[in-house]
Structure 1
Amino acid sequence: MALKPNLLFDFGGVIINIDYSLTLAAMRQYGSSIEFTQAAQAELFDLMETGRLSPQEFREGLRRHYQLTASDEELDAAWNAMLLEVPAERLALIAELRAQGHHTALLSNTNQIHIEEINRRLQEQYGFKHGIADCLDRVFYSQEVGWRKPGEEIFRHALEQMNWKAEETLFIEDSPQHIETARRLGLRTLFLTPPLTLQDALPAALRAFPREYSAPTPA
């Protein structure tokens, strides 16, 4: 019987569409540019994503570090501006793979403000009671576990909690620094480079498993 690899999904850029530039533009209207990109970010954001700052402490930190003049509601709206849609076809694909016998989990660098906003939208759009957790066997948020990618600790934690072997797990991610850590730990990886989507690349990666799969660059 063929192995059904475990599927470990990133969230932003894999399941939900993300545009960091929208948050950068939204924050600029209240003062200066913030230090936040897909590849790197200032310590303030690391602290928020590992649960060491409350949402209110994060807002105050934004005002203090970047001289932003905005209300709590305005800061939350600007911070959430990067969050776009969760396409129904991606959720359908995950549901289909679970029905086929794949075990699934989410491994996401995220924070309380984003979690609450995404879950609210998923409840409104799809009727989910527990947000994206309704679609997967388990979710691991950096905000809750106290570690974040690309550190090895959060990967080891997820594998241990799921009782998964690294070599039997496919990690789907759009950030190269996180792919590098996963490969170092022995996971198989799918580097989802835009404009490829989950539907474009995941079926082919599963057919190639356990070999590493390099998705072709779209024309």
Structure 2
Amino acid sequence: MPIKNIIFDFGDVFIDLDKTFVFKQMPVDDQEAREHLQLVNEKYEVGAITTVDFLDGIQSIYPQASHEELKNIWNRMLLGYPDYRLEFIENLATTHKYRLFLLSNTNELHIENVAQQMGDSKYRRFKSCFERFYLSHEIGLRKPNTDIFEFVLRQNRLSPDETLFIDDTLEHTLTAKSLGIHTWHLKVDEDVVDLKNHIDTYNNLTQ
């Protein structure tokens, strides 16, 4: 079946990240503390706790930092949004060849910082490229859980075999693949702007 719908991840697909930055700045050797950080982050990503609760949770294992310092550390993993990727998605949206969706595990602090980094105009341009803009903290669901993919498919009446999901995290693409969605696990040496070549390869294989 030809691809008619494309679901994009955000981090390390459109915006560059340093996912190790937080642990470099706040070294946590204790396994229990690491598990606590992971749990607090997961709750924050689905909007189950407030920003203040999230910062309190981090501060409980890193008490030497203020909330403001913790916010700065947390946001510095966001490295930037290259303009050529904005041009790419705008051009793709203009073709009206595919239904485009964004599906991101993100949180309130990060998305506010992204909008600030990009500026209101660019951020609005980016969002307007997508039919729906799904952020985990707004919909209460997160990848790699099956329910978030089922939610997007159901809400938009998408057929899995006509849908491509692009994400830099293998675990996320494996869940999508288990539901019959076509996937592109975007690796470090790949760039989303090469989408056409990827889809052309897929189409050649399925002809």
TM-score by length of 2: 0.88
Q: Secondary structure at the match of 1:190?
A: strand
1:152 alignment partner in structure 2? 146
Residues 204-213 or 143-152, more deviating: 204-213
Matched, 1:73 2:68: yes
Q: Given residue 148 of structure 1, which amino acid in structure 2 is its aligned partner?
A: R
- 1:190 corresponds, among 179, 184, 189, to 184
Distance 1:205 1:129 in 2: 26
After TM superposition, give the deviation of residue 131 of structure 1 in Å: 7.1
Which of 195, 205, 208 pairs up with 2:198? 205
1:120 paired to 2:116: yes
Query: Which residue in the other structure is 1:174 paired with?
Result: 168
RCO comparison, higher one (Cα < 8 Å, 6+): 2
Give the letter aligned to residue 134 of structure 1.
S
What is the identity, as a one-letter code, of the residue corresponding to 1:203?
Answer: K
TM-score by length of structure 1 reads: 0.84
> Percent identity between the aligned chains?
32
The within-5 A match list for 1:54-93 is: 54-64=50-60, 66-93=61-88
* Aligned partner of residue 116 in structure 1, secondary structure: helix
Choose from 114, 135, 141 the match for 2:135.
Answer: 141
Q: Indicate how the Cα distance of structure 1 residues 13 and 211 shifts in structure 2: closer, same or farther if over 3 A, else same.
A: farther
Q: Contact 2:59/2:66 (CA < 8 Å) preserved in 1?
A: no
In 2, the alpha carbon distance for the partners of 1:62 and 1:211 equals 49
Tell me if structure 1 keeps the 8 A contact 2:3–2:164.
no
CA spacing shift, 1:48–1:211, aligned 2, 3 Å: farther
Give the counterpart letter for 1:87 in structure 2: P
Taking a change above 3 Å as real, the CA distance of residues 185 and 207 of structure 1, as seen in their structure-2 partners, is same
Q: 1:119 to 1:130 in 2, by over 3 A?
A: same
**For residues 131 and 63 of structure 1, what CA distance do their matches in structure 2 show?**
36
* Stretch of structure 1 that moved more, 127-136 or 151-160: 127-136
Report the aligned-residue RMSD.
Answer: 2.3
Matched, 1:47 2:46: no
Change (3 A) 1:163 1:58: same
Contact 2:40 2:54 (C-alpha < 8 Å) held by counterparts: yes
Distance in 2 separating the partners of 1:210 and 1:45: 38
Q: Runs of 5+ in structure 1 lacking a partner?
A: 214-219
- When you count helix as a share of all residues, which structure comes out higher? 2
Q: Secondary structure at the match of 1:51?
A: coil
CA distance in 2 between counterparts of 1:181 and 1:75 reads 32
**Matched residue type, 2:201:** A
Structure 2 residue ranges without an equivalent (≥5):
none
Distance in 2 of aligned mates of 1:128 and 1:134: 10
